[in-house]
Structure 1
Amino acid sequence: MLKPLGDRVVLKKVEKEENVTKSGLVLPSSAKEESNIAEVLAVANEIDKDEKTAGQLKVGDKVVYSKYAGSEFEIDGEKVIVIKYEDILAVIE
């Protein structure tokens, strides 16, 4: 697993469900728009210690992040994104 440094967070994208039109047509995966919702896998120690952000984000939270933010990697067959904390827009409750 990746251990983020500085003000970084490791996320795993949450896949959107398959697109089906009202008439029942299934849209191919190439027509799907990528989701910008992800699950937090790891949070850097710097964020945990910062008084402003402490406790706001924890492993397992589902978040919305900026569409073009971060760098995508594949680790052990799993796609993850390393993103700056400031690029996280909201926590889904």
Structure 2
Amino acid sequence: MKTKLNVQLEFPTPFTYKVLGLAQQELVDRIVEVVQHHVPGDYLPNIKSSSKGNYYSVSITIHATHIEQIETLYEELGKIDIVRMVL
């Protein structure tokens, strides 16, 4: 994935991902696992449930040091089978 974020961001910088997926506790655990694999640290994601309770919106912020880190996480988070979208 090629983006123009490297022009728009100055590193290091905080960067927040919003991950939308099926409403399962496993979703949050798998998101944190992927993020910790690439950017070790303690994370407390913000979780919101959809109005019907079928989906979760999980926001998680990392301290990004380079654009490749951001792009890799977009790709890896999108590979989680119960994820529907990564913003």
Same fold (TM over 0.5): no
Larger Rg: 1
Structure having the larger proportion of residues in strand = 1
TM-score by length of 1: 0.27
Structure having the larger proportion of residues in helix = 2
Whose RCO is larger (CA < 8 A, sep 6+)? Answer: 2
TM-score by length of 2: 0.28
